[in-house]
A and B are shown apart, each in its own frame.
Chain A
Amino acid sequence: MSPAPLETRNAQAVPIADVPDLGDEEFRDAILTAVSLGSRVSALFGHPAGEGKLRLFCVLANDELGSLALLSRQVERRFMSLANDCPGVHLFEREIFEQWGVEPHGHPWLKPVRFQPPLVAAGARASQIGVANFFRVEGEEVHEVAVGPVHAGVIEPGHFRFQCHGEDVFHLEISLGYQHRGVERALAGGPDKRTIHYIETLAGDTTIGHAVAHCETLEALAGAEAPARAHAIRGIALELERLANHTGDLGALANDVGYLPTASYCGRLRGDFLNMTAAICGSRFGRGLVRPGGVAFDVEPARSAELQGRLARAMRDIRGATGLLWETPSVMARFEETGTVTRETCEKLGFVGVAARACGVGRDARQDFPLGMFRFSQVPVMTWHTGDVFARAFVRALEVESSGKFIDGQLKALPAGPVLAALPERAPDRIVATLVEGWRGEVCHVALTDERGRFSRYKVVDPSFHNWTGLALALRGQQISDFPLCNKSFNLSYCGHDL
């Protein structure tokens, strides 16, 4: 009888030795069975196991039960790919190939992910970026349009290759890697004085999301808990981040269809939300706020009252601004039935966050794997069923409402006590997986410690890693001029993918 995957919970450190080491078939079967029973793969990555072997770790998340399962296997040069049966792992397997040179045999789309140097040997060469075997459609009037890396205004770089017939898009291929800075390589051996700064800047607009995941991981490894007041402030900061980014996205969507009223109001409102975060910690993006053991800044009663007032005004304004969108036929004509992703695609490929909830899949780590304040204060999960640009915009508007209520509730009832606690030593030889619902979707950090309690491996999975494929699929059969709109409706992180 093969050992079962190790059942664990969110942000719970367990000994690495307890994670079962399965054989080829067992590993495959365990994952496929779990997926068929409603789990999904949150992380699948490699870690050197000595003697030329690579140990593959898999983190399975079950939203219904709120539990995580860990399993592993050892591979040498190649292994049987799972991508054909479980499409959600396709990018993870490509990443393993790129980082470690271990081939997932039978993978239908084995191409570079980040064009990065392998993690195996120092100074190893990377393949040249942008030079890949792009999928082509041949035909009389078919033409290819290549966009990027430098593209469309003030935005991160990425390469998009369209196969078009006139204005119709047959196929879109997305090639990233331009933002690769070597974060995962640098995180190993930590934590040191730079670690928290890597975490805060690996996806600069999800500073709080990643920082909370990181600090929960460290606290789990130390077997300690941050004070309640710190959890409340972390929750407030996380939701303010959500508010600011969703507001910005709604404004940008309005801008992309040329609807100026909402675009300009939201532009200003996003600044208002960012300034609220800055009122707490001095940085509009929340840099320097979340630290291991709690938070570095307190919200005293006078500040809390002021924030409540600003929040109330901003919530009234955002309601008015987004209300205009739904009532303008020319805007709705652009949003509805554009860039549709079916629920089936979403579940097969394991999308997370807003993109999933817009297809009717009620996946939200605040509800399914609650940490911090979300164990005590529930935020309702917002979904819509059509999977188009409108759905993704509408879900954002709904989430803005519920985040606003959550923040207001927390500000009115901040628990007493300190905001920062000293952490004891981290436990050695542990593995911990932490899921936090960032504003795009599920952030997953998996840390393995060595015998001294330092990170031997630190894996970061940004929600964008799951969702970029969604954008590529959403463009099929669409107009090429709708690409900016679809892109903005997903608004995925380039640097979160590239690390």
Chain B
Amino acid sequence: MSDSTLESVRGALIAALQGIVLVALAPLLNGLIRKVKARLQRRIGPPLLQHYRDVAKLFRKESIRPSPASWIFDAAPIVSFATASVAAALTPAICALPATGQGDVVTVIYLLALGRFFVILAGLDAASSFGGLGSSRDAAVSVFAEPVAMLSLAVVAAALRTTTDVSGISLASTDAAVASGTSLGLLAPWRLLAALAFFIVVLAECARVPFDNPATHLELTMVHEAMLLEYSGPSLALVTLASLAKQLVLLSIVASGFFPVGVATSLQPAALLVAGAVFVAKLAGLAVLIAIVESAIAKVRFLRVPDYLGVAFGIALLAYVAREAF
């Protein structure tokens, strides 16, 4: 076998391993967000590992299908979990070397979109008015969020100049990319603005305050959870894991794509471990940031969501101008 093939196989294995590890870590990340929010309210809050217990329990429960449901209802949890897992494998996290096939964020974003598409359909499939309400709202959020995400990613990718091939946007961590991300490059205005715009998109896509309240019990105000009201048992477990994984994938793009400091530049185990530690630290920081933001502001009226995302688009545009001008 030639060296490059060996390299590819090794890369693929690492990507697959990353996918598994990230999906396994996703519940812990959300557990951390909940814990920090609880502490900010001076309460103890659910244990960090509670999501694991909840998911484990769901796998042992009965799955009830509402009568009007079709194959879409059964397929959606599997599709959303599968796409989220593959996205987790491909997302830039500890490294994004070409050998691993990672770094193509367009693929990642649209894999997640595919999963979301099926869940939106499933929300309509159960023929309940809440599901329909949630689906239409979620679709509306995605329409406004997508341009912001793409623009801010394009700004960063162009800055990294990692590809002359205009058909793809890659945040592959070549030496040049990492070099641009060290020292002062890390605090360049264009980078911060682009990251802020993308962070707002993350809040919207992961159903966090101010766009949605993940802890709400009010069906009429739900966006994301409304589509899941009819799921139970293992299906609910899969679709819950999928949204937790999606949250981690998006945050890893912020952590390692926008701020590629500490990312591994080779496939050496030592380098990967160090990069892993840095990555976990960045994620934890982002989790705390989300918890602080959620604890300080209120959820906006749904009709104002496009306004907020419009502001995010403006910030992304500013980032582009800042990059081009300086």
* Distance of A480 Cα from B42 Cα, bound (Å): 33
Smallest CB gap from B296: residue in A = A261
Query: CB distance B220 to A260 under 8 Å?
Result: no
Known: A259-B297, A479-B303, A481-B302. A143 touches B129 (CB 8 A): yes
- 8 Å CB interface, B277-319 against A: 294-304
Across-interface contacts of A482 in B (CB, < 8 A): 301
Query: CB distance A258 to B210 under 8 Å?
Result: yes
Q: Interface readout for B207-250 with A: 1 if CB under 8 Å, 0 if not?
A: 00110010011111100000000000000000000000000000
Q: Interface readout for B99-137 with A: 1 if CB under 8 Å, 0 if not?
A: 000000000000000000000000000000110110000
Known: A330-B210, A330-B298, A481-B302. A256 touches B133 (CB 8 A): no
- 8 Å CB interface, A143-171 against B: 143-147, 151-153, 167
* Distance of A145 Cα from B300 Cα, bound (Å): 22
Chain A interface, number of residues (Cβ within 8 angstroms):
28
Interface: A285 (CB within 8 A): no
Interface: B43 (CB within 8 A): yes
Interface: A283 (CB within 8 A): no
CB distance from B202 to the nearest CB of A (A): 17
Across-interface contacts of A84 in B (CB, < 8 A): none
Interface: B37 (CB within 8 A): yes
Contact of A484 among B42, B133, B218, B304 (CB under 8 A): B218
CB distance from B255 to the nearest CB of A (A): 25
Query: CB distance A481 to B220 under 8 Å?
Result: yes
Query: CB distance A151 to B219 under 8 Å?
Result: yes
Interface: B2 (CB within 8 A): no
CB distance from B180 to the nearest CB of A (A): 36
CB distance from B135 to the nearest CB of A (A): 13
Query: CB distance B220 to A328 under 8 Å?
Result: no
Across-interface contacts of B67 in A (CB, < 8 A): none
- 8 Å CB interface, B25-53 against A: 37, 40-43
CB distance from A403 to the nearest CB of B (A): 26
Contact of A167 among B209, B300, B302 (CB under 8 A): B302
Interface: A264 (CB within 8 A): yes
* Distance of A254 Cα from B295 Cα, bound (Å): 12
Interface: A257 (CB within 8 A): yes
Query: CB distance A328 to B129 under 8 Å?
Result: no
Across-interface contacts of B210 in A (CB, < 8 A): 258, 330
Interface: A334 (CB within 8 A): yes
Across-interface contacts of A479 in B (CB, < 8 A): 301-303
Known: A143-B129, A167-B303, A481-B220. A261 touches B297 (CB 8 A): no
Across-interface contacts of A258 in B (CB, < 8 A): 209-210, 213, 216, 294, 297-299
Across-interface contacts of A145 in B (CB, < 8 A): 129-130, 133, 220
Across-interface contacts of A256 in B (CB, < 8 A): 218, 221
What are 19 residue pairs bridging A and B, where the CB atoms are less than 8 Å apart in the complex? A146-B129, A153-B218, A254-B298, A256-B221, A257-B299, A258-B299, A259-B297, A259-B299, A260-B295, A261-B41, A264-B41, A264-B42, A330-B298, A333-B304, A334-B299, A334-B300, A334-B301, A481-B220, A482-B301
**Residues of A in contact with B (beta carbons under 8 Å apart):** 143-147, 151-153, 167, 254, 256-261, 264, 328, 330-331, 333-334, 479-484
The 8 closest A-B pairs by CB, nearest first: A258-B299, A153-B217, A259-B298, A330-B298, A264-B41, A258-B213, A257-B298, A484-B218
**Residues of B in contact with A (beta carbons under 8 Å apart):** 37, 40-43, 129-130, 132-133, 209-210, 213, 216-221, 294-304
- Beyond A333-B300, A479-B301, A484-B220, 10 additional contacts (C-beta under 8 Å) are A144-B129, A145-B130, A147-B219, A151-B219, A152-B220, A260-B295, A261-B41, A261-B295, A330-B210, A333-B298
